[in-house]
Amino acid sequence: MNTLRKALSYCIMAALVVWVFHSPRGPIQTIANPPAVLAQSITPDCSFSFSFTNNSTQTGQSNVSSETPCVNWRMTFTTTGYLSATVSFQTSPDNSTWTSVPNTPCSSTAQPPCILQGANPSTGQQGMAYMAAYGNYVRVNVTGANGYGAGTVRVYGAKGASASGGGSGIGGGGGGTGTAPVVVGFNTASGCTPPSGVTCSVTASPATLTVVHNLGDALPGIVIYDGSGNQVAPTANGPDTASTAILTFSGPQSGNAKISTLAMGPQGASGANGTNGTNGTNGTNGSGYGGNSSNSLTPGTTSGSTAITATAGQAYVVGSCLQLTSAGAPSAYIIGPVTAYNAGTGALTFSATTAFSPQTCSGSGGSGSHTDWALSLAGAVGPQGPSGTGTGTVNTGSSPAMAQYQGAGSTTVGPATISGDATISSGGALTISSSAVTAGKIAPNAVGNAALAVVQTRRTCVIDNDTQSSTALTAAQISGGCQISFAATISEVDVWGGTGVTGGTLSTTGSSSVNLQKFTPNGGSLATLLSGNLATSSGYACALTTTSGTCINGTTSSGSVTVSTSALSAGDWVRISAASVDSVQTWYRVAIVYTVN
């Protein structure tokens, strides 16, 4: 196993990473006739990338070298869509046993493996970490993937100590002068051979090599090779000074010890600014919401799950509100949510209904069978219009006809026939019998303006998770979300869980918990909706904006978890952001109750 006996101090390692990966005072620029050392300093010694869409582990990347392997690393990752994940950089001595670089900042007391900048693992939709670490093999490991989209990880590595001199600056600060490494041949049983200006000695028991290197560095980099060129590690070292290194081995050892320092030289002169690069080419156009279908469909007759062949390469996803409109007869249309779409073949399935309801993405109009359908997204419901005003006269008419309303322009509405509990006299008076209004029909003051306002504006977003078996849900299976079509305010969050399957006996039991998050596409912001994970108690729990309130089903809300963020914007995506399971529940439901503003 290849092991660095001592790693560089925090400041020197940080300077090395910056020197290798970019200019100290700005991004890398292009300059005329760059020297050879400069060209090498901006090229990573090791590099690889890894793409992912869910939890996955990269194949180990070899870092074995008989010269100087990479020991300083920069890892970055980004994702597209709504995908988030946890990305960890790992090392291994044998491509079998893997260890993540600990998330400990490098310092004089915390030696490699350690973190120079950022965090390992990095979590979210993008992240970065600079690390000092070595392994014969390295890789990245992706866990906690949530949402949909794609991610890319890029890793760049820099080798260890070098005898090369410093390079020229790149649009600011150049490099210093390096110090040549000390190489000592040795055999703990017979002696050692030092270079000029260096002294050394050995002992046979214990097997020890002492080198007076005079580098002025108490923490130099030391790599030991045996006679076959393989790297070996001492069992102990020290006590060391700025000029002396002491290495102890488990038994007789021979080979070469390479001792080097990366003490920084003085600041070089600023280099000239490079010229601006040329503009990149425009990206390709993204997928849209359009296309056509020649399937024969009839508004008012076509209903239920309907499969059609649509134009391939569109952006429809499950849940998109699809509208099909006849090109030859624009009054003929069908609306329904998409339940499946293959962008490669154009195969599309949607749920067609005949009753018009834009709030639930359903309805149809027109008549006749058509084969010239143009596809698009159905428009969102518009805001409530203002109340109408006007004046008119009432023409009482004659019994048993109800009075007609006659407005401007002599427009009349009615008459309507009255029978049963109500009568109209010859003079036009409307009389309702006292027995007509009873508790069994309409209770007095049962429906007021406040009650009507709640009924008209209350909505519920339901997220269902069900294994449809006796197998308990995993945390990764409790997921999903829904889009909010209006500016709204969350009033309550309910969670249910239990066991059983559809068609059988369902029971509420268990203590799994979730938290929720909203994503606002216009601005790309994220916000957590609950003050903590809301766990079911005997299979149910609810949360309000205050603790210990009364939920809509009459139960008492959580005494510790509240709705901490209640405001929603039109187009917000509400989703499950965290989940923990109890290994009991086989189904889990989350209901977000909100009112339209």
The mean pLDDT of 47-57, rounded to a whole number, is 93
Nearest to 328 by CA among 292, 372, 295, 293: 372
Summarize pLDDT for 118-128 with one digit per residue, the tens: 899 999 998 88
The predicted structure's pLDDT at residue 13: 44
Summarize pLDDT for 90-108 with one digit per residue, the tens: 999 999 999 999 999 988 7
Kindly state the percentage of the chain with pLDDT values over 90: 44
Contacts of residue 270, defined as CB under 8 A and 6 or more positions apart, other chains included, come to 25, 169, 171, 172, 173, 174
Beta strands, E only, 93-217: 99-100, 114-118, 122-124, 126-132, 137-146, 151-159, 182-187, 191-193, 199-203, 208-212
The one-letter code for the residue type at 582 is: D
The predicted structure's pLDDT at residue 215: 85
The predicted structure's pLDDT at residue 503: 72
**pLDDT of 439 strictly over 90:** no
Nearest to 574 by CA among 414, 471, 461: 461
Residue 97 burial by CB count (10 A; 0-12/13-18/19+): exposed, middle or buried? exposed
One-letter-per-residue 3-state SS of 98-133: CEECCCCECCCCCCCCEEEEECCCEEECEEEEEEEC
The angle at the Cα of 103, spanning 101 to 104, to the nearest 5 degrees, equals: 105
Please tell me the distance from the alpha carbon of residue 270 to that of residue 267, in angstroms, as a whole number.
9
The mean pLDDT of 363-392, rounded to a whole number, is 80
- Secondary structure letter of residue 63 according to DSSP: -
Q: What are phi and psi of 358, to 5 degrees?
A: -60, -25
**Cβ count within 10 A of residue 398:** 10
- Secondary structure letter of residue 550 according to DSSP: B
Summarize pLDDT for 527-555 with one digit per residue, the tens: 999 999 999 999 999 999 999 999 999 99
**pLDDT of 481 strictly over 60:** yes
The predicted structure's pLDDT at residue 22: 40
Summarize pLDDT for 231-260 with one digit per residue, the tens: 777 887 778 888 898 999 989 999 988 887
Q: Which of 180 and 234 is assigned the larger pLDDT?
A: 234
Residue 234: helix, strand or coil by DSSP?
coil
The mean pLDDT of 514-536, rounded to a whole number, is 92
What is the Cβ-side half-sphere exposure of residue 114, based on CA atoms within 13 angstroms? 18
Beta strands, E only, 412-557: 412-413, 422-424, 430-432, 458-466, 481-483, 488-499, 507-508, 513-520, 525-528, 534-535, 540-543
> Binning pLDDT at 50, 70 and 90, where does residue 501 land?
confident
Kindly state the percentage of the chain with pLDDT values over 70: 74
Summarize pLDDT for 444-462 with one digit per residue, the tens: 555 555 555 555 688 999 9
The angle at the Cα of 211, spanning 210 to 216, to the nearest 5 degrees, equals: 130
The predicted structure's pLDDT at residue 527: 93
Summarize pLDDT for 139-152 with one digit per residue, the tens: 999 999 998 889 99
Among the ranges 264-273, 430-439, 521-530, 571-580, which has the highest mean pLDDT value? Answer: 571-580
Nearest to 43 by CA among 152, 162, 159: 159
- Secondary structure letter of residue 572 according to DSSP: -
Please tell me the distance from the alpha carbon of residue 320 to that of residue 349, in angstroms, as a whole number.
11
Q: Identify the sign of the CA torsion 453, 555, 494, 527.
A: positive
CB-CB contact of 245 with 222 (8 Å)? yes
> Among 269-273, 311-315, 334-338, 347-351, which stretch is predicted with the lowest mean pLDDT?
269-273
**pLDDT of 176 strictly over 90:** no
Q: Which of 422 and 273 is assigned the larger pLDDT?
A: 273
Termini Cα distance of the chain: 65
The one-letter code for the residue type at 219 is: L
Q: Which of 11 and 521 is assigned the larger pLDDT?
A: 521
Nearest to 391 by CA among 364, 417, 409: 409
- Secondary structure letter of residue 271 according to DSSP: P
Q: Identify the sign of the CA torsion 528, 531, 535, 541.
A: negative
**pLDDT of 1 strictly over 70:** no
**pLDDT of 70 strictly over 50:** yes
The one-letter code for the residue type at 142 is: V
Residue 500: helix, strand or coil by DSSP?
coil
Summarize pLDDT for 2-45 with one digit per residue, the tens: 344 343 344 344 444 444 444 333 332 333 333 333 233 346 78
- Secondary structure letter of residue 297 according to DSSP: B
Please tell me the distance from the alpha carbon of residue 67 to that of residue 200, in angstroms, as a whole number.
23
Q: Which of 430 and 449 is assigned the larger pLDDT?
A: 430
The predicted structure's pLDDT at residue 208: 94
> Binning pLDDT at 50, 70 and 90, where does residue 522 land?
confident
Q: Identify the sign of the CA torsion 413, 416, 422, 424.
A: positive
The one-letter code for the residue type at 533 is: N
**pLDDT of 566 strictly over 70:** yes
Contacts of residue 344, defined as CB under 8 A and 6 or more positions apart, other chains included, come to 312
> Among 153-167, 203-217, 574-588, which stretch is predicted with the lowest mean pLDDT?
153-167
**Cβ count within 10 A of residue 116:** 21
User: Quick one: residue 292, left, alpha or beta (phi over 0 = left, psi -120 to 50 = alpha)?
Assistant: beta
Please tell me the distance from the alpha carbon of residue 268 to that of residue 257, in angstroms, as a whole number.
31
The predicted structure's pLDDT at residue 267: 61
Please tell me the distance from the alpha carbon of residue 133 to that of residue 112, in angstroms, as a whole number.
6
Among the ranges 176-190, 253-267, 410-424, which has the highest mean pLDDT value? Answer: 176-190
Q: What would the two tokens of residue 224 be? A: 């030991």
The predicted structure's pLDDT at residue 151: 92
The one-letter code for the residue type at 486 is: F
Report the length, in residues, of the chain. 597
Please tell me the distance from the alpha carbon of residue 178 to that of residue 259, in angstroms, as a whole number.
13
The predicted structure's pLDDT at residue 20: 40
Q: Which of 389 and 550 is assigned the larger pLDDT?
A: 550
The predicted structure's pLDDT at residue 37: 30
> Among 37-41, 89-93, 181-185, 436-440, which stretch is predicted with the lowest mean pLDDT?
37-41
The predicted structure's pLDDT at residue 329: 93
Q: Which of 495 and 413 is assigned the larger pLDDT?
A: 495
